[in-house]
Each structure stands twice: as structure tokens, then as C-alpha cells.
Amino acid sequence: MADLAAQGETPEILFWVGCAGAFDDRYKRVTRAFVRILEHVGVKYAVLGMEESCTGDPAKRAGNEFLFQMQAMQNITTLNGYGIKKVVTACPHCFNTIKNEYPALGGEYEVIHHSTFLQQLINEGRVKVEGGESYKGRRITFHDSCYLGRSNNIYEAPRAVLEALDADLVEMKRSKANGLCCGAGGAQMWKEPEPGKKDVNIERTEEALATLDGNAAALDNLYGVESGNAGATPAPKANGQGSIIAVGCPFCMTMMSDGVKNKERENNVQVFDLAELVASAEGLNA
């Protein structure tokens, strides 16, 4: 961003990479996939690079309001300094914080989650999701992240992206507003869970796996499933190709991947971010 500013230019969008996108090895791949898409469609974008700092989300959810506001003010100063108007991010936590909590502290931007952004690209025909890997007939289930769904009412965009892939989209019983947390939110990502019967990500992974496998018996044993939810679609057994748990959040990614490993299902179930799926469908993985 600093380079661009030195040339006297402002980008169309600022891509907010987020800490996980910058440091987490798995999520760095998502960052790269998304950047490839941006370059592919020729959007003028910039990243803050080393000038980016944690949004303060984990501090705020953990109750450390002071630290949160320090982070927020610092980031707002940076963003305002560059005259940023539009921010895109692949992290629902960054998205929620910048969109909802920064305005009161002087940071007003148009903030877009990458699922919405990808949906727009597909709608505008700038991304065709063909020419690369085909997902036809592969079973995909989307895990709603709380900070995208319940917190900000974004349920359709990620699904629209997945539908464009022409895959076999199946819904978990607990989905959309009734979705179950992956267990990482509210700063849980950085601490051991409190003692209990099992970890949240295991419960959620079991549900995802049962949905992908069409295992109705396992689904019946889940707690808290809304009886009025007709959205669940336990389908017949999938074909040989691996099924996919799609996510739109770095923490969900970690939690679901750990869950799949814990259940020893890595051989036939993979966890991908929306951006990765779109990039490979578009043939951008070179």
C-alpha cells in the first residue's frame, strides 16, 4: 500500500489479509488463492503488508476493551491515512469488527467479506468457475461461521458461490441462523476449551461428516437440532471422489481441519475455503 501511495494512487479495494491470512500456513494458501483471483479479474487492489495490525477482535471478545481500542485506533489511523474507502477481507472476524465496531471510533468504510465479493464476480461474469478443476458431482457442505451468518446475516453469498461450482451442495441440519459454532470464536482459538464432554469442533465435524455421508442415524443423535428445520438433506452415499467441507473463515478452517484429522477422515474429506474452490475451478492454481 505504501508503494502505491508513493505513486499517488489509491486502490479500488484494500484487501485486509488478517493475522491468520498472513501467518497461518494453511490460511496463507487462501490468501494467495484470493490474490490470484483479484489479479485474474484485474481489480486494482492493495494490501497494507507490515502496516496491518490485528483488528483487536480476539481482545474485544475476551473482554480486553482497552487493547481492542488501541488496535482499532491504530488501524483506523493507517486506513484513513491512505484514504481507504472499500475493504475486502476473507476473515469474518475482521469483517465484523471493521464493519460494525470501527465506525464508532472514526473508521467508516465499505466492508465486504470475500464470499460476497466472489459472488459479485461470478454474477458479473468476471469469474466463470470453469476451465479449471470441475466439482461436478462432488459433495460439498458449507459450514456457516457465526460472525458471517448470525452476526451479519450473510447466508446466501457463500452458497451462491458454491452453487456456481455446480457441485452437489448438501446442508447440515444446523445451518444458517441455526448453525453451530466451530468452537473458535470469542477468543477460544487461543485457549484450551473448558472441561466438558467433547470439544465443539468435534461435534461440528461429526455433523458435517454425517451430512456428507448421508448418515441419518448419526444426525438424529445431535443435540439442539431445530425440529422445524426442513433444510437438512441427508443424501445417498457420495461417489468415490472426496467430499468437501467448505468454510469462509480462517478459524473455522483450523477447527474443521482438526476435526477431520481427529476423525481420521483426511483421506476422503477435505476442508477448503471458498476462495480456494473458486481459484481452482477457474484454473488459477499455477
Q: Are the beta carbons of 224 and 167 closer than 8 angstroms?
A: no
Contact between 153 and another protein per CB under 8 A: yes
Binding characters for another protein, 22-61, by CB under 8 A (x = yes): xxx---xx-xxx-xx----------x-xx-xxx-x-xxxx
Which window, 79-87, 160-168, 184-192, 210-218, contacts another protein (CB under 8 A)?
Answer: 184-192
> Which strands make up the sheet holding 45-46, listed edge to edge?
45-46, 13-16, 86-89, 110-113
Separation of first and last alpha carbons in the chain: 25
Which window, 82-90, 142-150, 160-168, 211-219, contacts another protein (CB under 8 A)?
Answer: 142-150
Q: CA angle, corner 282, sides to 42 and 118, nearest 5? A: 60
Residue of 146, 157, 208, 209 interacting with another protein (CB under 8 A):
146
Contact between 152 and another protein per CB under 8 A: yes
Q: In the window 221-250, what residues touch another protein (CB under 8 A)?
A: 223-224, 226-229
Q: Are the beta carbons of 109 and 101 closer than 8 angstroms?
A: no
- What is the total count of residues that contact another protein (CB under 8 A)? 87
Residue of 42, 83, 196, 236 interacting with another protein (CB under 8 A):
196
Across the strands, what pairs with 141? 170, 245
CA distance 85 to 11: 9
Which window, 69-77, 114-122, 156-164, 209-217, contacts another protein (CB under 8 A)?
Answer: 69-77
